[in-house]
Amino acid sequence: MASTEPALLQAKQKLAERFEMKDFGELHFLLGMAIKRNSDSLSINQQPFIKQILSKFGMESCNPVSTPAGTDEKLLKSDGSKSVDAKLYQSIVGSLLYLAVGTRPDIAHSVGVLSKFNSCPTVTHLTAAKRVF
């Protein structure tokens, strides 16, 4: 889709009449999402953000797994394991939630389950969160 299409130019002109704006050209990156557009397709991914959070949480060299959660794993509020830093856990879960909402619906259920333990996370919960990475 070329930016010289009449309908697009007309829309930009109408917006410019009402709002102060600048046209920076074709969009390539927005809110942590890389955007690629061809003549007949649009693709969105969060690879830069994924690399950033893997680095932030020291998970750059983590091993891949086939599922974001263990198939026989049942997380409990009080599982007997040691408590971990709640802010660290919440930061991990928040980052994963942003991915799930943006471009990774395949991890949404696992992240939703992990978010239940934001107030009192344990080592077991943190390990489960790291598995999603």
* Measured distance CA(58)–CA(36) in Å, rounded: 29
Question: Is this prediction's pTM over 0.95?
Answer: no
Q: Note the residue count of the chain.
A: 133
**51 part of a folded domain:** yes
76: amino acid identity, one letter:
L
Number of structural domains in the chain: 1
**73 part of a folded domain:** yes
pLDDT digits (tens, 9 = 90+) for 85-102: 999 999 999 999 999 998
DSSP character for 121?
-
Range of the domain at 55: 6-132
Maximum distance among all Cα pairs of the chain, rounded to whole angstroms: 65
pLDDT digits (tens, 9 = 90+) for 38-69: 888 989 999 989 999 999 999 999 888 888 88
**98 part of a folded domain:** yes
**93 part of a folded domain:** yes
**1 part of a folded domain:** no
